[in-house]
Every structure is written in C-alpha cells, then in structure tokens.
Chain A
C-alpha cells in the first residue's frame, strides 16, 4: 500500500487513473474530489512521515495497489449487521463511520456479533471534525463511486486481493493493565456507566473515579485473551453520577486502569520501531492530543488521527495497522 498526504489535484489525478483509494480529509476538500473507486471520511489530523499535523487543505490517501476489484457500499443502521455480505471471497474491507452517529453506537455495541465480521480483515475508523467544530459540524463519510455524502450509517470498501496475497490486521496499544489496579466490572454494555463493581463491591463509579484521583487520560483496559483492548474516558460528572466513555464498556468484562506509559510520543515511537511504512494505519485522536504529537515524529506508521479506530471492533487510544504480504510468508511468520 502507498500512503501519502496529497493536494486536491494529486488526489484527483489518482482517482481519475482508476486507483482504489481510502481517503481522509476535511469535508470541504473531500467534496472537491471527482467520482471514482474511493471512499473517504472527514479527519483533519494526521500522522505523517514528517510528524503530526492538522491539515484542512490536503488529503491523506492510501492506495490499495494489490486490489484486483472493489465494491463500495453504504449501509444504514438497519443493514449494518449485514456489512460482511458484499465482500469478496478473498479480500479485505475498509469501513468508515461518522462519529456521534447512530451507526457509531450500534457498531460499537453490537458489531462483534455481526455475522462473519471476523472472517476477513475489517479495518477503518470513526470519522471526525476539527476539534473546534465538535458539536457544530457533523462528521461525514463519502461514497466516492456515487458522490454521496452521509453523516449516518457506514461506508465500506471491499477490496479483492489476488490469491497469493494475504492481509494481516493488528494493533499497537501503548497501554496494558496495571496489575495493582482495582478490578472493575460493569453490569451493562454502554458508552456510559453510573455504577460498577470494583473488586466485587458496587460503587457510584463517577464518585469512585473522583475520589481515587484517577488520571482519565489513561484508559480502562480489558484483556481479550492476550489482546489489550482500551475504553477511554470521555467525562466524569460526579454531580450526575455518570461516567461517559469513547467506546462502550462490555458487561461482565474485567477492566483495570492502564499502567502509565510516561511520555506518550517516546513510548509510541519505541513500540513502533522501524515498521509500518507501507501499511494502512490510523491512530487515535486522544493519543495525538495527550501525546502532544503535533510536529512530533512517531515512527513510520502514517495515517489519520481519528475519533475511534476499527479493527473488527471499535477501539480507543490504539494504533491499528494492516499489511499485505505473500501468502507463503504469512504461513511461516
């Protein structure tokens, strides 16, 4: 895959040449692009080879060079559970969902139960806006084939791969559970919680977070059979006895607060190492903000900084990356 920050003219030329593209940019810029084999989502924060940047004039373009065919679909919330139906027998799917939409909440809570969702790599992100525009402008997704623009539902790009190429989707998470932290369990799935069981005792969760002086820049972390999955804090309102999250907590999962990483950008660069240059990736806007990544180089994974990352399920404060490799290489990896 090729990743590059492009001008409108450069991106338009790539579209017109028939390439299969995944594009992130401001709504204004995306609306200037011609129809073609692409999907896009609003985002103006990017991690580039030169460092983190907020850019409303250019677009970040990923080319699926090895794709032999593509299908672009938009699914409303009613059809979202069938999101895997139009995929190819051998391929990958990119998915974009607008932040704060019904589809965002639905996918986050129910997506792991959608039929076939784990059978092929499903990678994407939650589209956003400039942070100054949150609540004023709705995030969008673009179906480049039809030219349609949506602030609801999900737009998907199913890409067919040649038989000798396989895709591998994985995550890089700066965080792990603090083994000394309390064990937290919620009774219901959701983006908010009023109570939780902490070490087996039911507590007012907002009061607990406040009284413990918990650093809410650190996420709650659940251990999914060895994969660390974050849920980030959005707000804590002790007066209303409510804690809001950027992804849903799942009933019955055991969460612990993350162990502090020290300096974000240094920790991220350390974890990433020299990998990532040709991979499709996105990182979380919270990592961008809390890590003060604007202007900082954080390794070779480049892409948008998003309002939520998707690697089969919705993730927070996580770098998602997908690489293509020869089928034989994957067998011995």
Chain B
C-alpha cells in the first residue's frame, strides 16, 4: 500500500474535520465516509474514487496536506 493510499484509508475511516480543504473535498470525503461506514467492504472502492479525484482536482496538493 502506498503512503497516500494509507492516508486515504485513514481519512475515510475517521471523522476528522478537513479545515482548509476545498468545499469539493469536504463534501466528497463526507459522502465516501458515509458509504464506508454503512458498508465497510466498500473501503477499497472509496479509496480508488478518492485517488482518482485527487489526480484530477486543481487543488489536490493543498487538500492532500490537510488529510
């Protein structure tokens, strides 16, 4: 598992607030946390979705630092 993937897993299984992250990141992470909470087996899929999001988003580097 890469370091980034580990950070994503930790983010999606915690309830940490994301302070200065963009609105998009906050809403997406909240949606994914809810999915993982109701179906823990969905964690890998959620990590994949979050990784894809950060690979495209213009504020990715700033937001990843907040996770």
A contacts, CB < 8 Å to B = 90, 112-113, 116, 118-121, 166, 168-171, 223-227, 229, 250, 252-253, 311-313, 330-331
Contact = CB atoms under 8 A, between A and B. Distances in A.
B58 A171 contact: no
Interface in B30-49: 30-31, 33-34, 37-38
A226 B28 contact: no
Contacts of B31: 112-113
Contacts of A112: 27-28, 31
A169 B23 contact: yes
A312 B27 contact: yes
A170 B34 contact: no
Contacts of B58: 90, 120, 166, 330
A112 B24 CA distance: 10
* Closest CB pairs A-B (n = 9): A226-B17, A224-B30, A225-B26, A227-B26, A118-B24, A225-B18, A119-B56, A118-B28, A112-B31
Nearest to A161: B58
11 contacts: A112-B28, A118-B24, A118-B27, A166-B58, A169-B23, A170-B23, A225-B21, A227-B30, A253-B34, A312-B27, A313-B27
A226 B19 contact: yes
A168 B22 contact: yes
Main secondary structure of the interface of A (DSSP, over half): mixed
Contacts of A225: 16-18, 21, 25-27, 29-30, 33
A253 B30 CA distance: 9
A11 B25 CA distance: 36
A70 to B, nearest CB: 19
B27 A331 contact: no
A184 B23 CA distance: 23
A252 B26 contact: no
Contact of B34 (A166, A169, A227, A250): A250
A325 to B, nearest CB: 11
Contacts of B29: 225
B62 interface: yes
Contact of A226 (B18, B24, B37, B56): B18
A120 B46 CA distance: 19
Contacts of B10: none
A226 B34 CA distance: 15
A331 B58 CA distance: 10
A139 to B, nearest CB: 25
B24 A312 contact: yes
Contacts of B18: 225-226
A102 B44 CA distance: 33
A227 B27 CA distance: 8
A256 B1 CA distance: 38
Contacts of B37: 252
A172 to B, nearest CB: 11
Contacts of B19: 226
B57 A252 contact: no
B64 to A, nearest CB: 13
B29 to A, nearest CB: 5
Given A169-B22, A225-B27, A331-B61, 13 more contacts: A112-B27, A112-B28, A113-B31, A116-B56, A121-B24, A169-B24, A171-B23, A223-B17, A225-B26, A227-B27, A250-B34, A252-B38, A331-B62
Contacts of B28: 112, 118
Nearest to B24: A118
Contacts of A121: 24
Given A166-B58, A225-B16, A225-B29, A312 B23 contact: yes
Nearest to A320: B23
A248 to B, nearest CB: 13
